[in-house]
A and B are shown apart, each in its own frame.
Chain A
Amino acid sequence: MSIDTITMLRHGKVHLALHHLRGATTHGGRPLLILHGLGEAAPRTVPTWADNWPGPVAALDFTGHGGSTIPRGGGYTAELLLGDADAALAALTEEDPERSITVVGRGLGAYIALQLAGARAPQVRGAILLDGPGLAGGPTGPTSQSFFSLPASAAPPDPYALVELGRDLRPPDYATLFVRLALAGSDLDEPIAVSSVFRPEWLDAVARELGVLDVPLAEALATYAAV
């Protein structure tokens, strides 16, 4: 049975909704954190593909999405969303650096899952990258640019999030930096799994790196559940 209880986290001035889809009381293993794609929101029930995960399952609404704060005047970056995911990591591990999670990201959430795996390598035992909205991201280098204001919206998702996170720069060598960080800081030989069908340039580069599994979702989940 799925239970959607919500903890509101703080990340700076932003309130983030962390949905506890399956609690620690019934499943004592390592938490699984689900990160949604661009323009989506956290699932309200445990996805069927996560039914066999041997631990709690939680899902985060990123800034400007779902039940989280819609900021005024935009200013989104992938690195801000990394901070969001780090706030969820802190909550799920109760800020104990000895505890860890496994993370699954869809689309934009896959890119953030990769960053989290590199940035907090000892605490992320497995990051699984899936297809989903916002997987491609923006260009890999400088482009001609446009700057324009958008009408405010009190309902999620924030239009600024859709625009700014839909065109964020994703040079492949920046993405692979996080693979190297993950490999250097994790005790797993393969701390990242690419399970997507679509492979934009940054993700193709990631999939070619040492320490990256290239397997379907079910196999990736089984692998990380066993370690």
Chain B
Amino acid sequence: MLAARDPRRTLGEVKTSRSSDPAAERPVPGAEHPARQYTVDADGVGIAVHEWGEADAPPLLVVHGGFDFARTYDIFAPRLAAGGWRVVGWDQRGHGDSDHPELYSWDADMRDALAVFDHVSPRRPLPVVGHSKGGSLMTQLADAQPFRFTHLVNMDGIPYTRRVPDVAEHERTKMAANEIAGWLDHRRSTATAQRKPGTIEELAARRARMNPRLSIEWLERLVTVGGYESADGWRWKIDPSMRFGGFGPWRPEWTLMRLPGLPMPFLGILGREMEEMGWGTPPDKVLPYLPYDGRCEILEDVGHFVHIERPELVSQIVLDFIGEPPSGGAA
């Protein structure tokens, strides 16, 4: 029998993520701890910001993908900063060191992004580099608010089409039923959910199943910057209520449709090798959608994480594309 209680109005209880200990960070050649870290308020949600490079250099934004966090730019961002830029990344809500709010959505991510844009470069355009979901978010934002961008670089973040299994209609209905019921079952458990604890090596090995092309050395570093240690082991900081995948009315091709009309210089960088965390976009399919002032670099024998697999090459491609930083500390 259900217990009756007095009605209770509650405002949201934002949970703050736990920071990791810089002294515990596993070193990797070329990886650098951010020069500055702080929090930006986005409608009551704390968004953790990380910066590399000189504080008075012109800003350049880097946007991470889903289930990643800004510190996945620990190798890539310092290389961009070496080109004379103040490189600014942030943890999307629920990721990294940002707060874990009650709700997550594409539009909420977009508003959080605008809080960072407004903090870093209010009403002044700047170059933006996005990876995976971050690239897709920024492609949509560049269409909605082009005045904020001088250049847009999209690293393997161009959705093409939903992968539909080649099965009969009734089988697809059954798969959809299982997918939605599985999502709801997960939602029922999220009030008390926790990420599974383990050693640094165990968490890195789990991540390696999703990111098989990345080195264990790098993944172990990610655990120490994207996880926290408690009495029973390490856990990823990402909100345990979040789940890979999901369902809804959105279709990947709707983001692709925004690409041809982008007014700012556009560069796509795609790896030829398909991976589980990628959009599964065949690089050649993107070419007909490029804007007039756009081009695409397709990297052979590179997977979804182009900037982690080939940081030297990809950072040089990006620096060549965006050009010399403007003088005077603004993009």
Task: Mark A residues whose CB is within 8 Å of B.
Answer: 5-8, 10-15, 17-18, 20, 24, 63, 67-80, 82-83, 86-87, 90-91, 94, 118-121, 141-142, 144-150, 152, 154, 156, 164, 168-171, 174, 177, 180-181, 184-185
Contact = CB atoms under 8 A, between A and B. Distances in A.
Contacts of A10: 191
Interface stretch (B72-80, B140-148, B196-204, B269-277): B140-148
B101 interface: yes
Interface string B155-188: 0000000000000001001101100110110011
Given A82-B184, A83-B184, A147-B110, A20 B2 contact: yes
A109 B83 CA distance: 53
A18 to B, nearest CB: 8
B102 A63 contact: yes
Interface string B221-264: 00000000000000000000100001111100010011000000
B277 to A, nearest CB: 22
B102 A8 contact: no
B5 A14 contact: no
Nearest to B14: A72
Contact of B107 (A63, A75, A171): A75
Contact of A181 (B4, B7, B101, B173): B173
A152 B12 CA distance: 11
Contacts of A184: 170, 173-174, 177
B181 A119 contact: yes
Given A17-B7, A181-B177, 15 more contacts: A13-B101, A13-B190, A63-B102, A73-B45, A73-B111, A83-B187, A119-B184, A120-B184, A142-B254, A142-B258, A147-B107, A149-B114, A156-B9, A184-B174, A185-B177
Contacts of A156: 9
A110 B208 CA distance: 43
A78 B184 CA distance: 13
Interface of B: 1-15, 42-45, 93, 100-105, 107-108, 110-112, 114-115, 140-141, 143-145, 170, 173-174, 176-177, 180-181, 183-184, 187-188, 190-191, 241, 246-250, 254, 257-258
Contacts, number: 174
B8 A72 contact: no
11 contacts: A5-B4, A13-B100, A67-B7, A72-B101, A75-B101, A79-B183, A80-B103, A150-B43, A152-B44, A154-B11, A164-B107
B178 to A, nearest CB: 10
Contacts of B43: 72-74, 149-150, 152
Contacts of B107: 74-75, 147, 164
B145 A12 contact: no
Given A11-B191, A12-B187, A181-B176, A72 B108 contact: no
A52 B258 CA distance: 52
Contact of B8 (A8, A90, A141, A177): A8
Question: Which interface residue of A18, A71, A164, A177 has the most chain B CB atoms within 10 A?
Answer: A71
A17 B1 CA distance: 16
A164 to B, nearest CB: 6
A41 to B, nearest CB: 11
B144 A71 contact: no
Given A69-B102, A73-B93, A73-B108, A146 B144 contact: yes
Nearest to A69: B10
B177 A12 contact: no
B102 A71 contact: yes
B103 A74 contact: yes
B4 A72 contact: no
The 5 residue pairs across chains A and B that have the minimum distance between CB atoms:
A75-B103, A72-B44, A75-B108, A71-B102, A5-B4
B114 to A, nearest CB: 6
A67 B11 CA distance: 10
A70 B143 CA distance: 30
A15 B8 contact: yes
A20 to B, nearest CB: 7
A22 to B, nearest CB: 13
Nearest to B181: A119
Contacts of A170: 249
B174 A11 contact: no
B15 A13 contact: yes
A147 B170 contact: no
A100 to B, nearest CB: 15
Contacts of A82: 184
Nearest to A163: B107
Contacts of A71: 12, 101-103
